[in-house]
Chain A
Amino acid sequence: MESDEELMTRVALGDEAALGLLVERYTEPLQRFLQRWTRNRVDAEDLLQDTWVRIARGAKTFRPNQRFRSWAYRIALNLARDAHRRRTVREAYVANHETAPTRTSEDTIDLRRQVDALPESLRDVLLLRYYAGMTESEMTEVLAIPNGTVKSRLHTAIRRLREGSDHE
């Protein structure tokens, strides 16, 4: 199986089939990540489309020595952050569009709210780790922060959620 980076090198030369393979590999994990990040399905879908548009448009700027996964998630994360900054009436929008939770326990719903309420810096590492299965070094590339910071943010995120869940 060709690596993501090999496929991306082909995409840079205009190979549409290679782009198709990457879309197949990454659309679902990217969508899950964006959905949890934005807390909203409609936003996540738009951002997912925009992410692939950016990837296709920027294919020529992709360097084969970088990791495709880190590159793609960095694009997705930057788009999500920009969209979040642009939104001024976010709370109302979320209230209208948030996916209705399916049959889940109260603890799960509370914890999901706590995840959503985490500071962006902590939420980023948690979601990249869980939905993208990223290693610390990959997160270092995506978030442009040192390895130790990634580790401590992940640890802090878990600790905060645990404390929050213990108090309830």
Chain B
Amino acid sequence: MNRLCEETQDRLSDAALDQRTPDPIDREHAEACDACAQHRNFLHTLRSALDDVSRVPALPMRRVQDRATRVLRAAQSPAPFGKRLLRVVGLALLPLPFVIAYAIGIAKGASQLLDSILPQSALIWLGMIYFSTLAIGIGLVYAALPFAVAQRRSIERNSESP
């Protein structure tokens, strides 16, 4: 097969796969050349074989659309409160070990510094005040999380409604 036939057959194949009529020049060549005519016939059969599937009844569009829409709606709606809160609390717990380690470090440093100045009982009292204040502060932060999540959901809902 010469180069011209090779190129013509490639173009005929492209036209068949693109489901369009070949260029007139390629059609003329295929009429005059046996090898290219055979290729064109083969492509014709191939198109018939592939087109056979087009005769299958299409799935009702409405059904496809309804299901996809339901999924989209579910994907757009905010996550349930509990799931969201769990995620937020999980995130908020991550820095807790560092906060505690830092607080202990501060307490130890302060205790060493004040050890020679203050009596032991005063140091214990100061330590108790420090740690209880810290515990109350951390407790308040975690207790505020459900309210923050609820507030956020409410803002999201309001912005979604028309």
Residues of A participating in the B interface, judged by any CB pair closer than 8 Å: 11, 14, 16, 19-20, 23-24, 27-28, 31-32, 35-36, 41, 45, 48-49, 52-53, 55-57, 59-60, 99, 101-102, 104-105, 107-109, 111-112, 115, 126, 129-131, 133, 154-155, 158, 161-162, 165-166
Contacts and interface: CB of A to CB of B under 8 A. Distances in A.
A101 B52 contact: yes
Interface residues of B, number: 33
Contacts of B58: 27-28, 31
Contacts of A108: 45, 48-49, 52
A147 B54 CA distance: 28
A162 B61 contact: no
A53 B68 contact: yes
Contact of A102 (B38, B42, B55, B59): B55
B68 A23 contact: yes
A155 B59 CA distance: 32
Given A31-B58, A162-B39, A165-B42, A112 B71 contact: no
8 contacts: A23-B64, A49-B63, A53-B68, A56-B75, A57-B75, A60-B75, A102-B52, A165-B45
Contact of B13 (A11, A49, A56, A158): A158
Interface of B: 10, 13, 17-19, 38-39, 42, 45-46, 48-50, 52-56, 58-59, 61, 63-65, 67-69, 71-73, 75-76, 160
A111 B48 CA distance: 9
B45 A19 contact: no
A112 B72 contact: no
